[in-house]
Copies of this chain bind each other. A is one copy, B any other.
């Protein structure tokens, strides 16, 4: 058995059975091993940013890591932006990058690059395999590392000779370390704060946004009067009918500051103290008021369900029924605006849908407008690296078979990883992509105004995506995805409903 075969066997033994791949020459032994070792589902991406973003979306839905397969340092580099997003979501990924053979590397062949150095900035764990005999063990440790709470990227670099040499040994799955529990002192301290009755915010991050965690948080909030809010960017959040309706910290600095104004205490559950996305001259760096005290109920690696449950017990908070989000709205009519679109989406979103959100400016108001939609999960681009949405949707569809994935997608961001559509077509994934085509980098036009600039032609040209206009329906069809354009709410509603009834991917372009 060669090293590559031992690696594939070990991944399967560790319950990693999906591999998003864009392989090259140095990975051919891994690819050859896939024929000889049945059981690994391999999904090809035409670009590495699709591969890594899909691995992120997959694990967010499946609750366990996929593997990637990337080609040497530059292939890894192409995947870094979406690995950055995955890192911010604490997504477990077993990130495999092939590389030069150990003895060839010192010769500095053209494709040789600092693979380890590039991996480090996104990985909680990095190892370069040194021998075919130990690569199986390396893989088992990588899976263990990836699954260690709250989840992280484990990068295994695979020099070609560690794959092709004989002597591979399959390693057994290693136990995932038990998730640490919050210290009793943390629980008591937060309970004391809540009993004071001062204005307190329970701020929930990833892992504390499941239906069960939200229900516990509501039990605490209903008993103590504490407000509940989610972090600005979250990997996955349970929403819709029957789930607690909460807002996120808004993206724009002034709105974020306003949302947290007046809170005397901020209790962090599975998140760190929130920070504004970018600094602006004479604006604060965090939306948390200067005079607020920040308390930690559960650090990101600690079990938030356990902490919330023990806090509710400590407080003697009784079960509390989730407030009704009101009736599901009907679809809107007429012109497409952020409001009319969101209403129509809330009306038509199918039960158990998964929303992959990279809508950027057009989508800022979608969140509250969809409280009363059917139950669904909402995935965000967590690290601000552009081009996360379409790969995330692609991977989510693999990780949540049978559920419709709805990708809310800004046009500018779509063009970073547009190749994802081809993978959706190839794998017949149930993804409805909705492109908000305003033909500009709208977010940057706002930012330029924030800068106080009165932009002239040169600056505006840098933010303009017209000239020529992008035809997203043409792009989709050229990659095998059916597509159509909707000019108003009625047309959108028809196309959207049609896409959710059919199997496979569909793209709807909305000129906005």
**Which chain A residues have a beta carbon within 8 Å of chain B's beta carbons?**
21, 23-26, 28-29, 31-32, 34-35, 40, 42, 44, 46-47, 49, 71, 73-75, 77-78, 80-81, 84-85, 88, 100-101, 103-104, 107-111, 113-114, 117-118, 120-122, 160-161, 164, 232-233, 272, 275-279, 281, 285-286, 382-387, 412, 415-416, 418-419, 422, 425-426, 443-444, 447-448, 450-451, 453, 455-459, 461-465, 467-475, 477-480
> Which residue in B120, B281, B415 is a CB contact (below 8 Å) of A46?
B415
Task: Judge whether A416 and B78 touch: CB under 8 Å.
Answer: yes
Whether A118 touches B80, Cβ cut-off 8 Å, given contacts A28-B447, A275-B108, A459-B31, is: yes
With A and B bound together, what is the CA distance between A26 and B232 in angstroms?
19
- Which B residues touch A110, using CB under 8 A? 88, 232-233, 275, 277, 382-384
Q: Which residue of B lies closest to A87 (CB)?
A: B113
Task: Judge whether B275 and A109 touch: CB under 8 Å.
Answer: yes
- Which B residues touch A277, using CB under 8 A? 25, 109-111
- Which B residues touch A279, using CB under 8 A? 100-101, 103-104, 160-161
- Which B residues touch A29, using CB under 8 A? 451, 453
> Which residue in B21, B34, B121, B281 is a CB contact (below 8 Å) of A117?
B121
Whether A462 touches B21, Cβ cut-off 8 Å, given contacts A80-B80, A233-B110, is: yes
> Which residue in B23, B35, B104, B472 is a CB contact (below 8 Å) of A444?
B23
Q: Which residue of B lies closest to A449 (CB)?
A: B28
Task: Judge whether B32 and A448 touch: CB under 8 Å.
Answer: yes
> Which residue in B74, B111, B160, B459 is a CB contact (below 8 Å) of A80?
B74
Whether A111 touches B383, Cβ cut-off 8 Å, given contacts A25-B443, A443-B25, A477-B474, is: yes
Between A and B, 27 residue pairs with Cβ closer than 8 Å are A23-B462, A25-B443, A25-B447, A29-B451, A29-B453, A31-B448, A35-B456, A35-B459, A42-B458, A47-B387, A49-B78, A75-B385, A78-B80, A78-B387, A78-B416, A84-B113, A100-B278, A100-B279, A104-B278, A107-B286, A109-B384, A111-B383, A114-B120, A117-B121, A468-B479, A471-B479, A475-B475
User: Closest CB-CB distance, A110 to chain B, in whole Å?
Assistant: 5
User: Closest CB-CB distance, A274 to chain B, in whole Å?
Assistant: 9
> Which residue in B35, B286, B382 is a CB contact (below 8 Å) of A453?
B35
With A and B bound together, what is the CA distance between A157 and B213 in angstroms?
41
Task: Judge whether B281 and A164 touch: CB under 8 Å.
Answer: yes
> Which residue in B74, B84, B387, B456 is a CB contact (below 8 Å) of A73?
B84
- Which B residues touch A386, using CB under 8 A? 24, 71, 74-75
Task: Judge whether A467 and B426 touch: CB under 8 Å.
Answer: yes
Task: Judge whether A42 and B479 touch: CB under 8 Å.
Answer: no
In the assembly, how many copies of this chain are there?
2
> Which residue in B109, B422, B453 is a CB contact (below 8 Å) of A470?
B422
With A and B bound together, what is the CA distance between A121 and B160 in angstroms?
21
Whether A107 touches B28, Cβ cut-off 8 Å, given contacts A164-B281, A470-B479, is: no
Task: Judge whether A458 and B34 touch: CB under 8 Å.
Answer: yes
With A and B bound together, what is the CA distance between A21 and B461 in angstroms?
11
With A and B bound together, what is the CA distance between A458 and B277 in angstroms?
43
Whether A451 touches B74, Cβ cut-off 8 Å, given contacts A109-B278, A121-B117, is: no
Task: Judge whether B44 and A461 touch: CB under 8 Å.
Answer: yes
User: Closest CB-CB distance, A230 to chain B, in whole Å?
Assistant: 14
With A and B bound together, what is the CA distance between A24 and B441 in angstroms?
9
- Which B residues touch A23, using CB under 8 A? 444, 462
Task: Judge whether A32 and B121 touch: CB under 8 Å.
Answer: no
With A and B bound together, what is the CA distance between A233 and B478 in angstroms?
32
Q: Which residue of B lies closest to A79 (CB)?
A: B77
Task: Judge whether B28 and A453 touch: CB under 8 Å.
Answer: yes
Which 4 residue pairs are nearest across A and B when measured between Cβ atoms? A468-B480, A474-B478, A74-B385, A104-B279
- Which B residues touch A25, using CB under 8 A? 277-278, 443-444, 447
With A and B bound together, what is the CA distance between A385 and B77 in angstroms?
10
User: Closest CB-CB distance, A93 to chain B, in whole Å?
Assistant: 16
With A and B bound together, what is the CA distance between A364 and B419 in angstroms?
27
Q: Which residue of B lies closest to A464 (CB)?
A: B44
Task: Judge whether B384 and A74 touch: CB under 8 Å.
Answer: yes
> Which residue in B285, B384, B412, B450 is a CB contact (below 8 Å) of A111?
B384
User: Closest CB-CB distance, A210 to chain B, in whole Å?
Assistant: 21
- Which B residues touch A84, using CB under 8 A? 73-74, 77, 113
With A and B bound together, what is the CA distance between A457 and B40 in angstroms?
12
- Which B residues touch A109, using CB under 8 A? 275-278, 384
- Which B residues touch A80, using CB under 8 A? 74, 77-78, 80, 118
- Which B residues touch A49, using CB under 8 A? 78
Task: Judge whether A46 and B118 touch: CB under 8 Å.
Answer: no
Most chain B beta-carbon neighbours within 10 Å: one of A31, A44, A275, A469: A31
> Which residue in B85, B88, B468 is a CB contact (below 8 Å) of A425?
B468
Q: Which residue of B lies closest to A38 (CB)?
A: B458
